[in-house]
Amino acid sequence: MKMAGLLGVSIPVQGFLPNTRSNSLDALLVEHDDFSSNELASKEEFWREIREQFGLSGEWVNLNNGGVSPSPIVVQEAVELLNRKTNEIPSRFLWSTLIKQRDETRKVLANLLSAHPTEVAIQRNATEALENIVFGLPLEQGDEVIVSERDYPSIVNAWKQRARRDKIELKWVSLDFPIDNPNKIIRKYKRLMSPKTKLVHITHINNYNGQIMPVAEIAKIAKSKGIEVLVDAAHSFGNLDFKVQDLHCDYLGTSLHKWLMAPIGTGLLYVRQSKIQKIWPLFAHPPKHDDKIEKFEHLGTRALGLEIAIIQATTFQEKLGLDKKWARLQYLKDYLLEELQKQNRFKLYSTSNPKYASGIITLEFKDKNNIRLYQALTQEKIHLGRITNGNINGLRISPHIYTSIEELDRFIAFVNDF
């Protein structure tokens, strides 16, 4: 950290603020440098040390990280520091110091996407990012947009409002999960494309069951027909290893407080450079920014400290490695399913195709009252998601890298005894 008087606070682009936990993380990673990600996935002593990087509840078992993930303590401390400094002289610190550092955050996020910084806007969440496109894309009466009822509810409602307001036509993709064959999904989207279709909206990892959607394949078909593509990457960014070019999309929105574990209330919008000028942002902007990505960030006073502290989260992920993170999440999912299958009969709504399975699973216990089970789990301080959408009526379980096998065993034992 660099300090130069009252206002000279900056978050390093590389490395952490001074912190004993960050030093222990470095030592832990050096100690296990010779292990592959798959070998480390089952080493509980390693992940027990990773767990110490978080300030977790000693009472609750959190199996709903698909909602909001906790940030590592190094991220929390950066937020607290910047909040304290902001409150010493707010308007001066916000608009003379922190505003200058936002471009560093933008560069770091753009690097993770393999995009150019002039294509990345910092947002508060995926909903804000995606709705900039939903409501800003020039569409006329009769234009068609392809969307699914299995997309995120806030965005489904946004498209419905756009349809009511501007008389555009929504064409709905029906997805009855689980779907193990991605070609079935691709055909469903392709079948709805017509000369009137202006945009296809696709969720990269589905919120309801963790299915990884064949985004690139659908997008390539759409692009060949002159159709634009919007990707909801709320559950894939900071989770899957991808470049934005790999998805063949024009627009992408994501939250950063899920799998990247950035400060709560941070998100990202990607807009292909050639598309920026034609999109109307949610909040008015100066005309001189018509072709600038910054126009999507004009929303008045905001908590800039949260945005600067994003760099601490990206540093944490880069140190740990996305490959280790993904392998651990897959290991936890596989362990949970294997143990549950020993004593329980359940319907799995998540795909069994490993290529399209994330660390999120949704299932329904056939021999139990799932509503009462969910309520009992909450009383037992075991927190997970309850999913009712389309043909899904079950429980969503989304562990994270800090989740221990002991916590999963606690959940399994409770379910078995219920």
Cα–Cα distance between 106 and 118 in angstroms, integer? 8
User: What is the residue-level pLDDT of the chain in tens, covering all 418 positions?
Assistant: 333 333 456 777 767 766 667 788 989 999 999 999 999 999 999 999 999 999 998 899 999 999 999 999 999 999 999 999 999 999 999 988 898 899 999 999 999 999 999 999 999 999 999 999 999 999 999 999 999 999 999 999 999 999 999 999 999 999 999 999 999 999 999 999 999 999 999 999 999 999 999 999 999 999 999 999 999 999 999 999 999 999 999 999 999 999 999 999 999 999 999 999 999 999 999 999 999 999 999 988 989 999 999 999 999 999 999 999 999 999 999 999 999 999 878 999 999 899 999 999 999 999 899 999 999 999 999 999 999 988 899 999 999 999 999 999 999 999 999 9
Q: What phi and psi, each to the nearest 5 degrees, are found at residue 260?
A: -75, -20
Do residues 223 and 229 make contact, with C-beta atoms less than 8 angstroms apart?
A: yes
- Count CA atoms closer than 13 A to 263's CA, side-chain side: 26
Do residues 373 and 365 make contact, with C-beta atoms less than 8 angstroms apart?
A: yes
| pTM of the model as a whole | 0.94
Task: Kindly tell me the sign of the dihedral angle through the C-alpha atoms of 117, 145, 257, 63.
Answer: negative
Report the b/e string of 105-132 with b at 16+ CB within 10 A. bbebbbebbebbeebbbbbbbbbbbbbb
Cα–Cα distance between 22 and 319 in angstroms, integer? 10
CA triple 63-69-73, angle to 5 deg:
120
Who contacts 394 (Cβ-Cβ below 8 Å, separation ≥6)? 347, 349, 362, 363, 364, 365, 370, 387
Cα–Cα distance between 121 and 125 in angstroms, integer? 11
Domain ranges of the chain: 97-314
Q: What is the pLDDT of residue 9?
A: 64
Do residues 166 and 140 make contact, with C-beta atoms less than 8 angstroms apart?
A: yes
Q: What is the pLDDT of residue 5?
A: 38
- Count CA atoms closer than 13 A to 277's CA, side-chain side: 3
Closest by CA to 332, choosing from 359, 361, 362, is 359
Choosing among 3.30.200.20, 3.40.640.10, 3.40.30.10, 3.40.50.300, the CATH entry for 97-314 is 3.40.640.10
- Count CA atoms closer than 13 A to 3's CA, side-chain side: 8
CA triple 352-373-361, angle to 5 deg:
20
Q: What is the pLDDT of residue 19?
A: 67
Instruction: Give the helix/strand (H/E) hosting 97.
Output: none
Who contacts 84 (Cβ-Cβ below 8 Å, separation ≥6)? none
Cis check: omega of the bond before 178, within 30 degrees of 0: yes
